[in-house]
Amino acid sequence: MATTSSPSRNAGLEKVLIAGGGIGGLATALALARRGVASSVLERRLIFGDDGAGIQIGPNGTRILDAIGVTDFIKARVTAPPALRILDAGNANTLATFPLGRWMAERHGAPYWAAHRRDLHNALLSTAEREPLIQIRMGFDVTAVGDALGSKVTATSANADEARGDALIVADGAWSTLRSRIFSGPAPSYTGKCAVRAVLPIEDVPDELHRSEVHLWLGPDVHVVHYPVSAGHAVALVAVFDDRSVVSDWSTSCDGAWVSGQTTGFAPLLRDLLARPENWRRWSLMKLSRRPRMVLGRTALLGDAAHPVLPFLAQGGVMALEDAMVVAGALADDPGDPARALQTYASARARRVRRLARASWLNGKIYHLSGSMAAARNTAFARMAPDRFMKSYDWLYGWTPPEAATR
């Protein structure tokens, strides 16, 4: 449960600025507060929107939510899927079932959750709003950063407002403008795949799919994922297709007819499910041609702004949570030299996010196989011992954050 903080104990570290009030930005503010460090979250939006999307949070993420005091605000809104069920998109045959639920909790000491992104963000926001060390400034679109190499950092908004702090964490997402402005980072390039998402009330889901597992349907150059969210009252859907068109944000409207037109050859049950939402949100899957520099003086990138990853391991949001814990720990442990602390953070995260990016890319290749390669994949799934398969991801789900300092 969240607790209040005393003023910062860290000499030489009065306030950290955070550009972006999404999952990564709010988690960073909370992780800093748990270590007695004040922060100011600079959010460009005037109000937070209602993002119609789901998110899977593995044990490496749920233990962070507990550490930063968020669990009590979200646990009544999540589901804990008992298993991952993999199906053939063409005939609806079950290819394999792998354990989540109790197995994950017992092996890793923390649960595997599925949630509505809105519920996760609301929980982070509710916790942050109760934290006296956190200030949230809405309508503050950071357009310029000064003195990043000096003794302080100044962030200036489009309205000429200013904020000043000892360090700046840039958490403005995969389409980060500050990544290019400050770090000369590359613009994202298109992978040739797009994703669409929707959230359906459970009563609108076909009866045969009123199940609590995560469902993963595999087909040639396509896959579909769905799972219960909002305490089981809704189902989040995501479908990934090959497509030539590029959209330049996370939330472009897409009508149901376009999605239904992509489902030729799908099993009737899956086609029925994907025909239910009237409106979808679409985004293009992007990658960076080269990794950006993560740190410049007292400024650092975090989450998707630093390392956008393909969504084939459902870990993008959780990587932002991990980043938050590591950067907070580095700053709190070395308050007299924020620039050095941020270099420590970047070094600590580099190897892990590279491994995650490679593993996610490989999963995408496996999901979208066709012909004889897909048949060989399906046979391998059928013969694989479920426990053995899940243990191969111990490196991912077994990650634990640095211990927070006692207040």
> Which domain covers residue 158, as residue numbers?
15-77+113-187+289-361
Is 213 inside a domain boundary? no
pLDDT for 407 equals: 38
Tokens describing residue 134: 């956190």
Q: What angle do CA 216, 399, 345 make, to 5 degrees?
A: 115
- CA distance to 171, 244, 297, 338, per residue, from 96 (Å): 37, 32, 49, 48
CA dihedral 304, 307, 309, 314 (to 10 degrees): -60
With bands split at pLDDT 50, 70 and 90, how would you rate the model's confidence at 248? Answer: low
Angstrom distance (rounded) from CA 284 to CA 61 = 25
- Between 242 and 167, the more confident residue is 167
Is 324 inside a domain boundary? yes
Decide if 106 contacts 65 (C-beta within 8 A). Answer: no
pLDDT at 50 over 90: no
Angstrom distance (rounded) from CA 155 to CA 19 = 9
Neighbour count for residue 31 (Cβ, 10 Å)? 28
Q: State the average pLDDT for the chain.
A: 92
Tokens describing residue 116: 């509505």
Structure confidence by residue, pLDDT tens digits, 66-123: 999 999 999 999 999 999 999 999 999 999 999 999 999 999 999 999 999 999 999 9
Please report, for the domain that includes residue 158, its CATH number.
Answer: 3.50.50.60
HSE, side-chain direction, 13 A CA sphere, residue 303: 26
Is 279 inside a domain boundary? no
pLDDT for 6 equals: 44
DSSP lists the bridge partners of residue 163 as 155
To the question of pTM greater than 0.75 for the whole model, the response is: yes
pLDDT for 159 equals: 93
Is 216 inside a domain boundary? no
pLDDT for 7 equals: 46
Task: Report the number of distinct structural domains present in the chain.
Answer: 1
With bands split at pLDDT 50, 70 and 90, how would you rate the model's confidence at 194? Answer: very high
Is 400 inside a domain boundary? no
Q: Which residues, including other chains, have CB under 8 Å from residue 35's CB and lie 6 or more apart?
A: 10, 328, 329, 331, 332, 404, 405
Is 249 inside a domain boundary? no
pLDDT for 1 equals: 41
37: left (phi over 0), alpha (psi -120 to 50) or beta: beta
Q: What is the mean pLDDT of residues 36-42?
A: 98
Q: Which amino acid is at 48?
A: F
Longest Cα–Cα distance in the chain? 63
**Strands across the sheet containing 252-255:** 94-99, 83-88, 214-219, 222-229, 234-242, 189-201, 279-287, 252-255
Is 240 inside a domain boundary? no
Q: Report the run of H or E that residue 380 belongs to, with start and end.
A: helix 371-383
Is 55 inside a domain boundary? yes
pLDDT at 404 over 60: no
Angstrom distance (rounded) from CA 281 to CA 317 = 18
Tokens describing residue 46: 């005037």
Structure confidence by residue, pLDDT tens digits, 225-241: 999 999 999 999 999 99
With bands split at pLDDT 50, 70 and 90, how would you rate the model's confidence at 184? Answer: confident
Decide if 260 contacts 197 (C-beta within 8 A). Answer: no
